[in-house]
Structure 1
Amino acid sequence: MTTVPSPCINWCDINPENGYCRGCYRTLTEIANWSDLTNPEKLEVWSLLSSRKLQAPQQN
């Protein structure tokens, strides 16, 4: 079975305003637990990332 890939882009910096990584938009808990999540759980996290990115303050 294929494993759902991590959204990590190797830019690890947690935004204190929203608690999301500025690189992948996951929470610290999601990042820490990634290897233990099932594929459906990983897909659920992936489904949240686009909306988190849209809500995040843009970098200038």
Structure 2
Amino acid sequence: MIESPCIKVCVIDPATRLCTGCWRSLDEIAAWSSLSPDARRRVMADLPARNPRQV
């Protein structure tokens, strides 16, 4: 099973074009299953900085 930050709250913010549930971009979400494990880990490491509630 591929690790994913998805929390099943899929709402795309029109200003940032990021999902407000997992903070991934539409491109990242679309490519997720084809990304390498290292690429997925890099995206996941960056996600907390995208969440305005965590900054």
**TM over 0.5: same fold?**
yes
The alignment's TM-score, normalised by the length of structure 2, stands at 0.88
Structure 1 consecutive aligned stretches of length 4 or more whose deviation exceeds 4 Å:
none
Across the aligned residues of Structure 1 and Structure 2, the Cα RMSD in angstroms comes to: 1.8
The alignment's TM-score, normalised by the length of structure 1, stands at 0.81
User: What displacement does 1:54 show?
Assistant: 2.8
Determine the C-alpha separation between the residues in 2 that align with 1:4 and 1:49: 17
User: What displacement does 1:17 show?
Assistant: 1.2
| Gap regions ≥5 residues in structure 2 | none
| Gap regions ≥5 residues in structure 1 | none
Q: Percent identity at matched positions?
A: 39
1:13–1:20 Cα change, 3 Å: same
Provide the aligned length of Structure 1 versus Structure 2: 54
Which one has a bigger Cα radius of gyration?
1
Render the CA deviation track for 1:3-50: whole Å, top value 9, x for unaligned: 651000000010011111010000000000000000000001001100
